[in-house]
């Protein structure tokens, strides 16, 4: 369950990153709540897209056997988890979003997916003796 989970979540992050890179305008318009964060910024979206693509690739590679792969899984899970903690902080500081689409999108696709990915990567690393 751990290794397939890393592949699935890695594919999610990789696809999101590639979507951000290939179609930043469409990504900006499609993701609930993004428009409310400020004006469209292609450079910023590309930067984050590269981080998500790398995270996803590392999580996928982290599903392989061995200690090095387990370390890659942790590395891949780090950016999405930090990103999720930032959203948690925003909820604490500014309150939970009133728009239920934004709240659900952040809760599931930012927080849950990221924390689950880190939990799987951590379990994978513990199993291999990395942590």
**For the chain, percent of residues with pLDDT exceeding 70:** 100
pTM: 0.95
Domain that holds residue 57: 2-128
Which tens digits make up the pLDDT trace of 118-127? 999 999 999 9
Which tens digits make up the pLDDT trace of 49-77? 999 999 999 999 999 999 999 999 999 99
Q: How many domains does the chain have?
A: 1
Rounded-to-integer distance, Cα 44 and Cα 62, Å: 27
**Quick one: how far is CA 92 from the chain centroid?**
20
Start-end of H helices in 23-128: 24-30, 42-61, 67-94, 100-105, 113-128
Which tens digits make up the pLDDT trace of 31-55? 999 999 999 999 999 999 999 999 9
Which tens digits make up the pLDDT trace of 85-124? 999 999 999 999 999 999 999 999 999 999 999 999 999 9
- Output the pLDDT for position 19: 98
- Output the pLDDT for position 80: 98
């Amino acid at each position: 369950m751990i290794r397939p989970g890393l592949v699935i979540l890695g594919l999610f992050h990789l696809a999101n990153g590639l979507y951000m890179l290939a179609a930043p305008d469409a990504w900006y318009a499609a993701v609930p709540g993004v428009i409310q964060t400020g004006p469209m910024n292609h450079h910023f979206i590309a930067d984050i897209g590269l981080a998500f693509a790398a995270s996803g690739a590392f999580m996928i590679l982290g599903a392989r056997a061995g200690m090095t792969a387990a370390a890659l899984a942790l590395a891949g899970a780090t950016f999405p988890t930090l990103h999720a903690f930032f959203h948690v902080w925003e909820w604490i500081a500014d309150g939970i979003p009133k728009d239920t689409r934004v709240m659900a999108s952040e809760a599931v696709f930012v927080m849950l997916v990221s924390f689950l990915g880190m939990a799987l990567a951590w379990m994978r690393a513990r199993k291999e003796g990395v942590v």
